[in-house]
Structure 1
Amino acid sequence: MRCRLIPLVLITLLTGCSALQPSGSAVPAVSSPSITLPLVASWYNGKVYYYVTTDVWPRTMAIAKGANFTPRFRDAIPPRPKPPGLKTILERIYAFPDGEQINIIPSAPEPIGPTSNNRPYSPVWQMVEVRWLMPEHQQELKSEAELLDAEAEGWVALTVTEAIVNCAVVADAEGNRLPGSQLHGLPAQPR
């Protein structure tokens, strides 16, 4: 009798657990856990995109950004000079350490979400510092092409750093965002 009681109790428990799961019936779904992370604005091809920073190398930058320190990111840096044809997961992110403007990214998911078809996009970025050499030409640069033109003119200097960051693009200024995410008001537009 005891052996028959165990399966009956198990079936009863499993039936009770299934009532907690969303199944299309009138049973209310249990809300999913969530977390709020700060959005960081960046320029990509003249359009503002927002990303979240979750992981960083080196430790000093991880502390400054309130992100996970990720020692293995150091292993992502290719040898210099980078051998021709060597593919890496790294993209570049152009940062203005003096705060003249928001960062510039050279790629973003297009469209944001699982249907993105932008093959160059990667959320793992190697930081490139941008410094204005000719302040009289300083202007808001809104794309990698504008930035590289400014470098060719001698207006800015680009310095590749060894900082690696994981910054997933999650939304844009037009309200497009990752499916299932909630956007609670867009941050103020940059200048």
Structure 2
Amino acid sequence: MRALLGVFLLAALLSGCSRSHVTHMSLPVLPGWYNGEQVYYLTTDISDAQMATVMQANYVPRLANALPDMPGPHPLATYDRVYKFVDDSQASVFPSIPLPLGGDNHDTAYSPLWHVYEVRWLSGTPGSPLRSADAVLQAQEQGLVSVRASGIIVNCPVVAVGEQRLQ
């Protein structure tokens, strides 16, 4: 009897998630890179008012609360880094994506929340495109780019990887 009641309650709860009332809309996606592969993402929310205006996203100051007060790595953080080239010389670089895209994602490192790290070419002229987080960090070690934490949190879910798209 308990099992039957549990199944009934689960069915009732999931009925609120029904796709029968799905409305489609068109949103701009931006290109990015992950380990040499092109990805596409949405920018929906940003903790910085000026960046939110420029990106035509929601200004959400509470997102800044995701950043801890202390410096250093934070293994339990709900965000990861995203490398944003401040001169827009190339697309942003992501260190993780959902693998595979969709409900079967098994990459526990992925989160749609990102701490923006600003990347600047030190020569003033963009070098070869950097298409992975490792390439960005190697370029930093070689003195080709500077990388700086901005203190800005963005909500940018990855919605396409190569030919695979969320439906």
Structure 2-normalised TM-score?
0.83
Tell me what 2:164 maps to: 176
1:65 corresponds, among 43, 55, 58, to 55
Secondary structure of the corresponding residue to residue 81 of structure 1: coil
| Change in CA separation of 1:157 and 1:32 when aligned onto 2, cut-off 3 Å | same
Moved over 6 A (4+): none
Check the 8 A contact 1:93/1:103 in 2, yes or no: yes
2:70 is matched with which residue: 80, 84, 104? 80
> Tell me, what secondary structure is at the counterpart of 2:156?
strand
Cα distance in 2 for partners of 1:54, 1:165 equals: 8
Per the TM alignment, residue 103 of structure 1 is displaced from its structure 2 partner at its CA by 0.5
Structure 1 counterpart SS, 2:41: strand
Q: Is contact 1:137-1:155 (8 Å) kept?
A: no
Structure 1, 71-80 or 120-129: larger mean CA deviation: 71-80
Which of 46, 56, 66 is 2:36 aligned to?
A: 46
In the alignment, the residues of structure 2 paired with residue 99 and residue 53 of structure 1 have an alpha-carbon distance, to the nearest angstrom, of: 15
Give percent identity, aligned residues only.
Answer: 37
Aligned length: 149
1:167 equivalent in alignment to 2:156: yes
In the TM superposition, residue 134 of structure 1 has moved relative to its aligned partner by: 3.2
Q: Offset of 1:32 from its aligned partner? A: 3.0
User: 2:9: which partner in 1?
Assistant: none
TM-score, normalised on structure 1? 0.73
Cα distance in 2 for residues equivalent to 1:140 and 1:75:
32
Q: Find the aligned partners of 1:123 and 1:31 in 2 and give their Cα distance.
A: 25
Unaligned runs of 5+ in 2: 1-18
1:68 Cα shift? 1.1
Q: Deviations over 1:68-112 (max 9, x none)?
A: 111210111112323x65521011110111121111000000110
Letter of the structure 1 residue corresponding to residue 40 of structure 2: Y
1:131 equivalenced with 2:120 (yes/no): yes
Q: Which has the larger radius of gyration?
A: 1
Higher relative contact order structure (alpha carbons within 8 Å, sequence separation ≥ 6) = 2
